[in-house]
A and B are shown apart, each in its own frame.
Chain A
């Protein structure tokens, strides 16, 4: 029989302590709140899964969730194709390439709340360039009053802010394709479209998975920009999940439902990350095997 030695537990103790202090205990606090009704700091009542049931039935929350999913899908539908198109159009080398790279990356350097402020002013019909131009053209545009306008403005703002990230990732992916592929395609008489469809797109698969993952998770957690631009309005047209959560927890001080909702939000993100991560891993290893095949 093998001797049993439990000393290893001692060695992982520091890690356990750190993780507990930084992640597990804070999360447990939220779990703790989610099963209690906190009437005042001294008075609290255990309510079991009541808050979870209430939150799941909450129509405002369902609305926010649908808006959120719709928004994230719209972000992906616009930013991914646009980013690929941008990357294809960018010059591949020389000073032009560097100049374009820097220009494209500028919007990535602007903090979230500043982006919100920029667009808040940009979209105003009295002093904003975009708003005033649209008004001059006779388009009735008002992001503070019209729900569609507000929603579209938030979407365009996100596209403006984050498409460069997708473009830069794709640009890097395109540069990694060996010249021989383009030469072979030219020998085979492939059209530009065929080169894109059969060489560039398949070779971009890896970076595109990363781009989709990043943009999906980021847009799913969007908070600052719509908060600065519209405050979630008009009505709740631009109230996304994280803003709804903040309203509940900080605005109304409904700690119980907010905690229950936090956990559900967390589980949604965890589940989606899990799915996307596994997908990414599979694509990654498939690529690796293919590369190994090259010898």
Chain B
């Protein structure tokens, strides 16, 4: 059990010059003891690198990793007492399921009675009890991944359990089941869990705090509702939600705050408005799709920018080609500045709440380049 602090940057190249040379740009981040975190971002955004730096499989090229305030840069995963589960199941072919689960404990010289007890408990949690004496090699992919998960959870004194897209190879219906299991295990064991994924649903349902990453930067840390209601960066607005946030030039509507270049409004908050209503703009409907629980309306404004709106099923829906007025300004409208970061807006309007945990502008001394925009 430990609080994990990161204050580092990492490059796989020996002599990084531009931002593009970094797998992880300089960042500061804290994972609190006992929290459930998700690292969310597209492929290649640096989330697996961050995970491997926490576990000790990769040493950061700049800065420090500390556990409970002590730097652990040079310690091995074993010394850090980390458990990690990988994307593809890793099992020891020649061992039975029980021996696989017992392996991390056996290597640490835990007493046989205790091992048996722990293995029994974890097997029960993961519903592997019936297969304990089967050889692991012949099992299905999801049973194997359950064994990998079990090996990560079997030690009770771990600093943290890290998951690197562990459900990629699992069938969709089992994914839900396993994710619920993980959540349940988190409640029972109070372990620090860090979960890497590129699936927003997975991240938002699993974690208390989601770290959204893109191109080596962590652009926002927050709860599901923070990410939805007040995306701190245009990338978050675009990446979270289905479909993502609408972005329009801020100048289209009067009354944009100073420094705002782009206006962002989620399709959920775009409304059909009266003609000439305040905060509304005229548009031409291009397409209306029935998505089942809602209508998805796509319309073009006078300047050609596309706006999508989610309309409730009972709403009177216009047809393609109709002229409508769309309400875009409201308490849920966000404004973004030159650097794609939030300058104003969101439901708790007024002054911005505390800055994201990573002060993006406030680069440590070893920063070598300017921020990407």
Please pick, from B89, B103, B137, the residue contacting A188 in the complex, using a CB distance under 8 A: B103
Task: Please name all residues of chain A whose beta carbon is closer than 8 Å to the beta carbon of B93 when the two chains form the complex.
Answer: 202-203, 290
CA distance A66 to B345 in the complex (A): 91
Q: Does A18 contact B (CB under 8 A)?
A: no
10 CB contacts below 8 A, A to B, read: A180-B87, A180-B88, A183-B90, A184-B148, A187-B83, A187-B84, A190-B107, A191-B107, A198-B92, A293-B144
Beyond contacts A184-B151, A186-B76, A187-B84: 15 other A-B pairs, Cβ-Cβ < 8 A, are A180-B90, A183-B86, A186-B57, A187-B83, A188-B103, A188-B107, A189-B104, A198-B92, A198-B103, A202-B94, A290-B137, A293-B138, A294-B141, A295-B141, A295-B169
Please pick, from A180, A202, A286, the residue contacting B86 in the complex, using a CB distance under 8 A: A180
Smallest CB–CB gap between A35 and chain B, Å? 51
CA distance A178 to B89 in the complex (A): 11
CA distance A190 to B90 in the complex (A): 14
Task: Please name all residues of chain B whose beta carbon is closer than 8 Å to the beta carbon of A181 when the two chains form the complex.
Answer: 90
User: Is there contact, CB below 8 Å, between A198 and B95?
Assistant: yes
Which size class do B's interface residues fall under? 20 to 34
Q: Does B15 contact A (CB under 8 A)?
A: no
CA distance A286 to B135 in the complex (A): 12
B residues neighboring A (CB under 8 Å): 55, 57, 76-78, 82-84, 86-90, 92-95, 103-104, 107-108, 137-141, 144, 148, 151-152, 169
Smallest CB–CB gap between B351 and chain A, Å? 45
Q: Does A289 contact B (CB under 8 A)?
A: yes
A residues neighboring B (CB under 8 Å): 178, 180-181, 183-184, 186-191, 194, 198-199, 202-203, 286, 289-290, 293-295
Task: Please name all residues of chain B whose beta carbon is closer than 8 Å to the beta carbon of A294 when the two chains form the complex.
Answer: 88-89, 141, 144, 169
User: Is there contact, CB below 8 Å, between A183 and B95?
Assistant: no
User: Is there contact, CB below 8 Å, between A290 and B84?
Assistant: no
CA distance A178 to B87 in the complex (A): 12
Question: For chain A, what secondary structure do more than half of its interface residues adopt (helix, strand, loop), or is it mixed?
Answer: helix
Given the contacts A180-B88, A187-B78, A202-B93, A293 and B140 also touching, CB distance less than 8 Å = yes
User: Is there contact, CB below 8 Å, between B107 and A189?
Assistant: yes
Task: Please name all residues of chain A whose beta carbon is closer than 8 Å to the beta carbon of B138 when the two chains form the complex.
Answer: 289-290, 293
Smallest CB–CB gap between A244 and chain B, Å? 42
Question: Which of A194, A202, A295 has the most C-beta atoms of chain B within 10 angstroms of its own C-beta?
Answer: A295
Task: Please name all residues of chain B whose beta carbon is closer than 8 Å to the beta carbon of A289 when the two chains form the complex.
Answer: 138
The chain B residue with its CB closest to the CB of A190 is B107
Task: Please name all residues of chain B whose beta carbon is closer than 8 Å to the beta carbon of A203 when the two chains form the complex.
Answer: 93
Given the contacts A198-B94, A199-B92, A294-B88, A189 and B78 also touching, CB distance less than 8 Å = yes
Nearest 9 pairs between A and B by C-beta? A184-B90, A189-B107, A295-B141, A188-B104, A189-B78, A198-B92, A290-B137, A187-B84, A202-B93
